[in-house]
Amino acid sequence: MADMTVEIVTSRAIAQQILRHRSFNFQEFSQRYAKADMGFETYEARRQDTKNRQNSINDMDDSDKHWFECAQVNIQSMCESAYDQALAKGIAKEQARFLLPLSTTTKLYMKGSVRSWIHYLGLRTGNGTQKEHMDIAQAIESMFAEQFPTIAQAMTKAN
Check: CB of residue 67 under 8 Å from CB of residue 75: no
Spatial distance between the Cα atoms of 14 and 60, rounded to a whole number of angstroms: 21
Asked if 20 is an active-site residue, the reply is no
CA distance 102 to 15: 9
Determine which one of 22, 47, 97, 124 is catalytic: 124
Question: How far apart are the C-alpha atoms of 58 and 103, rounded to whole Å?
Answer: 20
CB 16 within 8 A of CB 28: no
Where in the sequence numbering do the catalytic residues fall? 124
